[in-house]
């Protein structure tokens, strides 16, 4: 059957290739440790599950919600954003609930772009953003970020692209895959430059609660002068460990959000209704559990900092957010081959930096969200052994 050019232009998912290899090895009895998937390693606790069960008895849990989602859920999310991000969205007109932040991003692009429009992706980028731009008929443009600055996004990085006529700039902070938390003042300057050049700025803030040490998340939509030109995408997938419930949101200008309804209705009709209610149940329990869990993640991050520093050919300048170590491998020119070889030889799953764009080549992404310390220690032992024994493989 014919496959359309837009989908043909998308590379097969590199992460899935690694996962498939890991499944094959596991099935053959290998003790695989996965540092691959972007899972927070957190699951809803029994108290939260207790609040969920009664929802099943509510008839409206089982049917379509309004296209934009249940108003009560939008109100709860608007209250969260007002309290934590200092931005006020009208829940009735400026928020639409989606099947996760990924769908929010696709909804934003389908509403915003004309065929062939360019979208600037600071690179290394979140790979689903690149594929989504292609699938909707846009053209992804990689804006290289510098490892020397810890992959911060600076105006000077953007400057060469300001005259390119791009329709949008995507800002992911805290970042996947680099873990960078963008400096708030510089991010404002970047957004001002992009907006002055005619772009809409789309933010992705799914890791906003996972920031460490003195880093603070800041939301561009909270800056009044920028707000009309900013679309905010996010979800609670990572926050509450509910990646399978598929609820996120897109927030922004009321007219734009109204137009997204046409796309949403055609695509999914609405975000999963029971999942929408789950988010309110989770939010009503407060954030103490997540904030305690953040300490656990930070301990893993500090552990990795120390352990990776002992492996001579690896370098990681620890970044302050999400739960990824984006690690440079000295001499590596084919991270895909390297990641598959590491998995085959020492059974540690990592993600090749190349799947995050041209500027990710030479790196491996290690996700530490779902790996407890003893297992993380074992993974580091194995990596140390691999690089001691196989220096020529890079």
- Report how far apart, in Å, the C-alpha atoms of 148 and of each of 108, 221, 316, 317 are: 32, 28, 11, 9
Of 259, 275, 276, which is closest to residue 107 (Cα–Cα)?
259
Distance separating alpha carbons of residues 109 and 123, to the nearest angstrom: 18
Cβ-proximal residues to 317 (8 Å cutoff; 6+ apart), any chain: 147, 150
User: Minimal distance in Å, beta carbon 57 to ligand PLP?
Assistant: 27
Specify the residue, 205 or 311, whose C-beta has the smaller distance to ligand PLP: 205
Query: Which of 206, 221, 230, 364 is close enough to bind ligand PLP by CB under 6 A?
Result: 206
243 binding ligand PLP? (CB under 6 A): yes
User: Minimal distance in Å, beta carbon 130 to ligand PLP?
Assistant: 12
235 binding ligand PLP? (CB under 6 A): yes
For the chain, the 3-state helix, strand and coil shares in percent, each to the nearest 5, are: 45, 15, 40
Would you say 118 and 164 are in contact if contact means Cβ atoms under 8 Å apart? yes
Q: Indicate the helix (H) or strand (E) that contains 78.
A: helix 71-85
Query: Which of 61, 131, 132, 176 is close enough to bind ligand PLP by CB under 6 A?
Result: 176
User: Minimal distance in Å, beta carbon 311 to ligand PLP?
Assistant: 25
What is the DSSP pairing of strand 230-235 with strand 248-251?
Answer: antiparallel
Per-residue x/- mask for ligand PLP, residues 107 to 146, rule CB under 6 A?
Answer: -------------------x--------------------
DSSP class of 223? S
User: Minimal distance in Å, beta carbon 220 to ligand PLP?
Assistant: 15
User: 56: exposed, middle or buried (C-beta count within 10 Å: 0-12, 13-18, 19+)?
Assistant: exposed
User: Minimal distance in Å, beta carbon 233 to ligand PLP?
Assistant: 7
239 binding ligand PLP? (CB under 6 A): no
38 binding ligand PLP? (CB under 6 A): yes
Query: Which of 237, 264, 273, 276 is close enough to bind ligand PLP by CB under 6 A?
Result: 237
Q: Indicate the helix (H) or strand (E) that contains 258.
A: helix 254-267
Specify the residue, 65 or 173, whose C-beta has the smaller distance to ligand PLP: 173
Task: Count interface residues toward ligand PLP (CB under 6 A).
Answer: 13
The residues that touch ligand PLP, with contacts defined as CB under 6 A, are 38, 100-102, 126, 172, 176, 204, 206, 235, 237, 243, 248
């Amino acid at each position: 059957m014919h496959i359309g050019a837009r989908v043909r232009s998308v590379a097969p998912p590199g992460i899935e290739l690694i996962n498939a290899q890991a499944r094959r090895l596991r099935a053959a009895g290998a003790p695989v440790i996965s540092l691959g998937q972007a899972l927070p390693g957190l699951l809803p606790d029994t108290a939260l599950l207790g609040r969920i069960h009664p929802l099943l008895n509510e008839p409206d849990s089982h049917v379509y919600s309004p296209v934009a989602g249940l108003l009560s859920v939008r109100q709860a999310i608007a209250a969260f954003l007002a309290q934590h991000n200092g931005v006020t969205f009208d829940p009735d007109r400026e928020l639409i609930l989606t099947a996760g932040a990924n769908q929010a991003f696709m909804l934003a692009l389908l509403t915003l772009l004309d065929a062939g429009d360019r979208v600037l992706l600071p690179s290394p980028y979140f790979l689903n953003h690149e594929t989504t731009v292609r699938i909707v008929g846009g053209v992804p443009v990689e804006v290289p970020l510098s490892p020397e600055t810890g992959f911060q996004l600076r105006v000077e990085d953007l400057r060469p692209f300001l005259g390119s006529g791009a329709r949008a700039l995507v800002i992911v902070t805290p970042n996947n895959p680099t873990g960078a938390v963008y400096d708030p003042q510089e991010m404002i300057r970047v957004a001002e430059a992009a907006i002055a050049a005619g772009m809409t700025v789309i933010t992705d803030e799914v890791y906003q609660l996972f920031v460490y040490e003195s880093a603070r998340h800041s939301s561009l939509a909270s800056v009044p002068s920028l707000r009309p030109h900013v679309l905010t995408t996010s979800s609670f997938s990572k926050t509450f460990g509910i990646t399978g419930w598929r609820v996120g949101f897109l927030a922004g200008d009321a007219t734009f959000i109204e137009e997204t309804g046409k796309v949403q209705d055609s695509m999914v009709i609405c975000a999963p209704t029971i999942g929408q209610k789950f988010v309110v149940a989770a939010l009503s329990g407060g954030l103490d559990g997540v904030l305690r869990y953040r300490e656990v993640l930070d301990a893993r991050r500090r552990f990795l900092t120390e352990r990776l520093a002992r492996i001579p050919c690896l370098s990681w300048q620890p970044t302050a957010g999400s739960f990824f170590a984006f690690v440079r491998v000295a001499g590596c020119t084919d991270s895909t081959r390297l990641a598959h070889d590491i998995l085959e030889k020492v059974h540690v799953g990592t993600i090749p930096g190349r799947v995050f764009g041209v500027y990710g080549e030479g790196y491996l992404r290690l996700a530490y969200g779902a790996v407890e310390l003893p297992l993380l220690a074992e993974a580091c032992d194995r990596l140390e052994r691999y690089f001691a024994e196989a220096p020529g493989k890079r």
